[in-house]
Structure 1
Amino acid sequence: MEPGNQTGTSYFILMRLNYDPTVEPLIFGFFMFTYLVTIVGNLLIIIAVSSDSHLQTPMYLFLSKLSFTDICLSTTTVPNMLKNIHTQDHSISYTGCLTQACFVLSFAVLESSVLAAMAYDRYAAICHPLNYTVIMNPQFCGLLILLSLIISTANSLLQCLMILRLSFCTNNELPLFFCELAQVIKLACSDTLINYILIYLATFIFGGIPISGIIFSYTRIVSSILKISSLRGRYKAFSTCGSHFVVVSLFYGAAVGVYICSAITVSPQITTVSYMMYTVLPQMLNPFIYSLRNRDMKKALGKLITKVSCFL
């Protein structure tokens, strides 16, 4: 069959997380709780950063963008999954599936880019403290955010437009609870060579470059911290990047798990768990990691909660 924009299917079937009707309410409650915690936690971070003058620094600016990205990434997958569990209808339209895959890819690349920008910010703060305000000026920070948005959007549009040339036949069952680009391409019954080349190229560029930048930044950071003579100085330096390091490890550790599951043949349950670790849990845990390990964030959140309580 020759490539074209024709498709033999008008919908896809997403995988059920569990086939036991007695367990599905528990799964629904768990993901509903996870999603609400993700939204509330990240919204509090965004509001706290925007309302507290002490947090108007590059580090917290990037943190608010990371929280916004976490909200968007969770919203592209979890609500539709909750609807499917509630209605017992696990189908998704062809257009809806491609749209979801496009947004998931876009926000995943955006999160990777923001994490790389945060790593560079910590590198500048610890390795070049005297020139920090010059290096991380508002114009440069804005440029990094804008560049991240352009890169993630352009890559997502290119990848999804290339899917439109594929034809899909009778097999329309996806082994995931949401539409993911590589899994959708596997169902095509036309030539997918160009699509896979683009995916591997994009993974190398938009995954490899941020990871390389983060590794370089933390190598220089650790080297600079070890040169500090006092233990108190070392602890203070480590504390400024500890939260970011935990978030980076969580996000990219889950991404590696997803890659391994995609590269080898594993059970659908293991694949589902790996994707949950990548698209659900990091977004929920990030606000806790930053708020519990950051004194300034604790104070800002405390003031925000106090204001809300007085207003109510």
Structure 2
Amino acid sequence: MLEIRNLDKRYGARQVLTDVSFDVLPGRLTGFVGANGAGKTTTMRIILGVLAPDAGTVSLGGSLLDDGGRRRFGYMPEERGLYPKMKLREQLVYLARLHGLTTERATRNATALLERLGLGERAAEPIEKLSLGNQQRAQIAASLVHDPEVLVLDEPFSGLDPMAVDVVVSVLSERAQAGIPVLFSSHQLDIVERLCDDLVIIADGRIRVAGSRVALREQHSTLRYELLTGADAAWLRDQAGVDIVEFDGNYALFDAADESVVQSVLREASARGAVLNFARQHPSLAQIFKEVVQ
């Protein structure tokens, strides 16, 4: 487990991080989200040892991280950092060799990753000849080629088309299923919601919420229900304890004052005819994000 505890960071008079703490669990994808300037990249750079915190610690498996421990990480920065004139496969092999892999294993890993990420036909091309989307995939390959034990990815989906996103999501999910802790940031909340097991939201340098996606959705849920009946549902407007959010003939989205109101609505709907759908509506990640950062 990757443990981030009580990180503080200041640039001059500006406090960038304040008491930042969260965990990245083995075998789980943790989404790290926040607005521009919220502190995501600074936190990631401290985790990687690129920046030193003013206070706080970063541990892996209960031991404080040093440079040796960080060699076990795979990191993808938001900025493109590959050598533009170097051929793609040669570059991946070179990076894997820097992490101690043999030439044979490095070549095998690089070739397999390029095929998996849809870059096999581009293996002999210089990075500068690749499209921006393919350069992004190349950076992801560079973070994976040495078989890291932890992944930290800053905006890995930036610039990718929907098909490429699906490929990258699949690759990251495979790594998580193999037991690797994966931390990734993204502005694309729909992708985070679809991909992550756990979620960390940061705003103004402070962690606002952290926990499993399922638990957070339940925690921020209201008693909002969707009702679809076989007849006109206008009667719902007169139901005590009901606040209509949307209404269209036999369809209604409503908030209930408490569970007894929910049961009362269901009984009344059943008594009046067929109930085609009755389901609780949980908030989206975008809704949770807006709620906690305001």
Question: Which TM-score tier does this pair reach, normalised by the shorter chain?
Answer: under 0.3
Instruction: Give the TM-score taking structure 1 as reference length.
Output: 0.23
**Structure with a larger share of its residues in strand:** 2
Higher Rg of the two aligned structures? 2
**Structure with a larger share of its residues in helix:** 1
Instruction: Give the TM-score taking structure 2 as reference length.
Output: 0.24
Q: Which has the higher contact order (CA 8 A, sep 6+)?
A: 1
